[in-house]
Structure 1
């Protein structure tokens, strides 16, 4: 008696039209109005995917665009381990639902972008086959003309000409099926204009001392990070930007750490990476002593407390005397006495 009973399903079963099946699942279909995702039966009933892969594909399809769906990110969100999630992602990738591509970013980093397609079969388009020349339809064969026999003494009656049997025109044969249908991407290539890189910062005055210090700092990078070995032309190009950092009182160790910290795994052009970081990570000038001083607060004049000469109550007034009540009480009496 203490077990809670769910009577909603029982009432819904009584409202289903038609006879119910004696065995198997019975569906109670309630239309969704919000927070739903359309999933095709080609995924939900896929015979080549495991249940984990199907569930993971449904969860990925329901996530908003831009959500991280790497192996570690999914393992931190779901109870399954990294090995099981990696195997499910490989299944989805093998059947065309998932694709992972390595992309080079403008700042020199290399990232892996994951693309999920909810219906990979729609991306398959057969290559337009060359139209085969139609076979010329052979006209119905006419019977050979009757051979004229030599004129006998009595002309024999000619046999009646029989009409040839009507033959149906042969239907054109369908083109031979292709063995392999190529992948044709329906997503057009990006057409947005690429933003130009930011210009390198320049110092207000490139002195000989600044140029020497900037050149020494760039040439010394390969001692701390061998992957940042620069050529002489790269050093000459980047030296004014480093001088702009030094002009803003940036310490050489700070500049070295900002330029060489956390490089991409595949660093092909170190000069391009340094050019981007010198332009985008430029620190602002150090503030002066006057800028760091606290602003002066405006002086507020506070009216002091006074003790009333009549009732000895405290009240605020610039000079000693009587409070407001005493002035109102004794003021008319003193005027009448005078």
Structure 2
């Protein structure tokens, strides 16, 4: 997969990308897998390049076709619009309206463009739209000789890549796996957990496993409490037609998917109406004649 842009001169700057109005724009999906060089290898080159660009945009960045085309000189608005449609079909993008309370206390509807580096299926997106916490997308099955690893183990094993002072052994990861799993069960994201275990380290770490255990125990977040249901209304990614998630497979309405049946052609009812009028006229005249006799 080509992840670069056509030329260095055309390479866009994420820092100069416009931000949407407060509450609008890019909204990152939860529980995404760590970024890799092959995240969008299943997409065509154009969609892969645009997806990689969106993936690195900050929260709240404008994600409409016009804004993307202004930052991606190789593609026009039509190409960007088509790419957004393809990303929706592939499970990387959904759009919805969300009812939020503004700073002034009034309730407003804002449009979310939710982007996920990890491709999701329709059921996952529908759960997110309801305000539920979707089940993590299954990872590729391990080989017969490689035991399955949990998300908690994976986070612990990755600490050394973030800061070599926190490198843990296999035995350390196995011993701390249960504590790390509690953080994830209470809603902590994988990147948040990594930051909690690697931020503000002393100059020299003598025992990484002991420090990790201490932080996992002392900083364990509270259990999740029930929150009011989120008011969200799904929209077609392309034309913003509202609908229930099951009516928008791939995030697209029937018209934008090209599957909505064409209505049957209208028949010419003129002759039929003329016959009805003639019959009614004849019946009226006949009745009047009978009354006069």
Structure 1 length normalisation: TM-score? Answer: 0.25
Higher relative contact order (CA 8 A, sep 6+): 2
- TM-score, normalised via structure 2 length: 0.28
Higher helix share: 2
